Structure 1
Amino acid sequence: MASSMTASQTEMEAARLPLGWRDQCSALLIPLNKCRHKELYAPWKCEDERHGYEKCQYDDYMRRMKLLSKQKKAAAESAADEE
């Protein structure tokens, strides 16, 4: 399921994103990394980009946890129906 927050494969390769970071929020990570590099990783810089990326990561985590909960519930119901 591709999201509007997902960068294309060529964009991620050009930004040299490691494979572990190529997820639903990759389109927000690319400008964040550019800003961090430009500002020499000063922690008080690039806050807007960082907060946007962190919110995307949190929303993606919550989406996955809801999906897991639904899958567990469906599996428990199907197990109960078989008995």
Structure 2
Amino acid sequence: MASSTTASESEMAAARLPLGWRDQCSALLIPLNVCRHKENYLPWKCEDERHIYEKCQYDDYMRRMKLLARQKKEAAAEADE
């Protein structure tokens, strides 16, 4: 994952992001939350920001699942030896 999608600790604290949301896509969540607040959380507003954030979340999930599958495959290969 590109480091440009991760906000610094001070940026996340300034944006008051909960600890559970401080992940690889935190830099994309900050402008999304600003837009949501500005637009009174209307569901048809901020669609571009939401789509970009959700794509980042999906890509991060897929990266982690591929890593897990690789680790399981390596562990199985070591067990067979």
| Number of equivalences | 81
TM-score, normalized by length of structure 2? 0.97
Deviation digits for residues 9-30 of structure 1, max 9, x if unmatched?
0000000000000000000000
Unaligned regions of 5+ residues in structure 1, if any? none
| Matched residue, 1:62 | 62
Q: Quote the offset at 1:2 in angstroms.
A: 6.9
What is the alpha-carbon distance in structure 1 between the residues aligned to residue 16 and residue 78 of structure 2? 44
| Matched residue, 1:12 | 12
Deviation digits for residues 3-57 of structure 1, max 9, x if unmatched?
2200000000000000000000000000000000000000000000000000000
**Higher Rg of the two aligned structures:** 1
1:28 has 2:65 as partner? no
Unaligned regions of 5+ residues in structure 2, if any? none
**What SS class does the counterpart of residue 4 from structure 1 fall into?**
helix
TM-score, normalized by length of structure 1? 0.95
Q: Which runs of 4+ in 1 moved over 3 A?
A: none
